[in-house]
Amino acid sequence: MKKLFTTALVAMLPLLMLGQGWPANYNGVMLQGFYWDSFNDSKWAVLEEQADELAEFFQLVWIPQSANCGGTSMGYDAKYWFTNYNSSFGSKAQLQSMINTFKDKGIGTIADVVINHRKNASNWVDFVSETYKGVTYRLKSTDICKNDDGGAALAWANANGYQLSSNNDTGEDWGGMRDLDHKSENVQTNVKAYLKMLLEDLGYAGFRYDMTKGYSASFTGLYNAYSQPTYSVGEYWDGNLGAVKNWIDGTKVDGVVQSAAFDFPFRYVVRDAVNNNKWTNLSSNGRTLNQDANYRRYSVTFIENHDTEYRSASAPQDPIRQNIEAGNAFMMIMPGTPCVFLKHWMSYKEAIKQMIYVRQLAGIHNQSTNQVIANSSVNNYYVHRSAGTRGAVLAAMGSTSYNIPDTYVEVVSGTNYRLALSKTTETAWASKPSGEYAGKQTITLTAVSQSADARIVYTLDGSEPSANNGTVISSGSSVVVAANATLKAGLLIGNAVSGVITRHYVIGPDDDFEPYEITVFLKDPTVAPNNWSTVNFYTWDSSNNQHNGNWPGERITDTKVVKGETFYYQTYMITSRNFFMNFVFNQGPTDVQTEDVTAVKQTSFFEVTTQTNKYEVKDVTDIYLPYLNRDPADANGDGEVNIADINLIIDVILSGAVNTAADVNDDGEVNIADINFVIDSILR
């Protein structure tokens, strides 16, 4: 009997070990793979294309809620849970392809789990019915909190013959959608099955729980204890450390924490320091989760997210306005699990890559010990040290008047930050991270070593450097990389090689970029079915500089007829290889506006389609661009107007085929009038 008990206990250990909220001594970095209205940059196919690059730096990628919401949406108005995964970011097949590719590359995908509230199907209190694995799941009106929407939901239910739950909300009320009663057995059954499906069928590695202030922390504990995610982090949006700790403790099941939390206290400390350029404010004095030895394991640090970022002049939010690189540098050397914001990754990629390398090389993890080294209000600098499994990192923030000790080697620097690795790290260092570059690159290789005799040995063909393989140079020397290469560089001390690093360089042609002009066309939305009163372009570029003024931008009056349709248009200059334009089309300072249209680098045509919260925009460039500078009489598109165009029109008339190009006079029909139009053009 004792043997059977022991065997059963051993079998249960993996499950018990998983129910820990977040792995101990975790050294990974997470990417928030979206920002507000990132419908282009966060498409599943777009993220999947970046898997090789992301895998070198991130172990987790958090993506938007991935089920269908009944229209264009960032996912926070969840409608479907089980059956419809064709979302604003791609199809279910594209989602699963991305998750599987990430998994193959060593990246876990974090699902955005929205269970505080749910979108209704047709009225205030009904929900979609879904059948999954032969079981039908449906929330009922009695699954809605009694006091939802300040009592408005109950009033509507009573007036229309429905019944709500007898329980009030166990957290904060939110009037945007129906708040779910997590005391309900039916709600718990639906949520548990949903979470299992995310893990087991779609292949997610863990969860980011949205709006956890909306329901008791005990339910997060209940759901995680059942579904056993490897990673779980809750959005308990509060700058008060005690409140966040209480939420984490509230997730305990049998005394075991079931979820980490976003370290909002840390975010606010960094925000205040970098926005005010007061670096001594980084001394948190025990005000952050990642500075508490008992909780830092459960700290997911961040400095910006989709709710705090600057969105527009009408929605400024609470952003970090300056020193973004410095804020990320400080986060990267601290305990906790760093979560990098997609916009920051896109704008400061080379610097953030180097910061992540520093963290990796020193072996900093979520429970690393750390201490304040110096804090000078007179000179406005702050210096912090974190110890990892391989070495230590010194972050000197603010003024450069602080002298980094000679037991460290400065490896990364920028405005108001310097990162230095302790010489005990014993590693090679390269001045440029893996990436794509224009033209040949000069890479400086440095020995981070306690040995004064340490040299660098490197190869460019991906082979392992050794005393007998590779080129030997002194520390601080450079190598020119003129073609695609896999650099491997290590410390050479005597005949022994250690601390080998790998960098992948893709070298393109020299950046002989020449600025060019693009024109952005919007199909006339002032006619039915949209009937806008005016047309405005609100425009900003890849560096967030506005081009048509503050919201709502500039009223556009120039029009052009292309392929029989009227378009409003404006012209812009693309000034560098990585430069692009972003748009919100609108009819002025009202609620009538489109979703964001981002990363436009070529002449493009857009059409306003259906309206949900914002008008959706369809890219119709393929339809209209061929006709932009084309003679309408050139029916076959060969660049000339001649008998061949007449023959094409005759063929279309005789076959009855649908060919809009043959309707050269744009009267909606293909007939003899089109032939006469071509003849007139030839004679002219």
- Please check the confidence at residue 208 and state whether its pLDDT lies above 90: yes
Q: Tell me the pLDDT tens digit for each residue of 337-387.
A: 999 999 999 999 999 999 999 999 999 999 999 999 999 999 999 999 999
* Separation CA 251–CA 258 (nearest Å): 5
All residues at 6 or more sequence positions from 230 whose CB lies less than 8 Å from its CB, including other chains? 18, 23, 108, 205, 206
Region 408-431: what's the mean pLDDT? 98
Question: Is 516-627 in the same CATH topology as 427-508?
Answer: yes
User: Does the pLDDT value for residue 232 go beyond 90?
Assistant: yes
Annotate 367-389 with DSSP letters as a single string: T--EEEEEEETTTTEEEEEEE-S
Structure tokens at 129: 């019915």
Is CATH 1.20.1730.10 correct for 427-508? no
| Contact in structure between 394 and 422 (CB atoms under 8 Å) | yes
- pLDDT at residue 591, as a whole number: 74
Quote the percentage of the chain above a pLDDT of 90: 78
The residue type found at 637 is G
Q: CATH number of the domain at 516-627, out of 3.30.565.10, 2.40.50.110, 2.60.40.10, 3.50.40.10?
A: 2.60.40.10
Q: Which residues contact 426 (CB under 8 A, 6 or more apart)?
A: 390, 391, 448, 449, 450, 491, 498, 499
Contact 640, 648 (CB under 8 A): no
Model pTM score:
0.80
CB 237 within 8 A of CB 210: no
**Which tokens hold the place of 643?**
């008998």
Tell me the average pLDDT across 496-525.
Answer: 93
Query: In this structure, which topology does domain 2-114+184-368 adopt according to CATH?
Result: TIM Barrel (3.20.20)
- Residue 18 tokens read as 């998983």
Read off the pLDDT band of 19 (50, 70, 90): low
Taken as a whole, the chain contains a residue count of 684
Q: What angle is formed at CA 529 by the lines to CA 523 and CA 534, rounded to 5 degrees?
A: 55
Q: Is 430 helix (H, G, I), strand (E, B) or coil?
A: strand
**154-163, 439-448, 481-490, 570-579: segment of lowest average pLDDT:** 570-579
- Where do the structural domains in the chain lie, given as residue ranges? 2-114+184-368, 372-425, 427-508, 516-627, 643-683
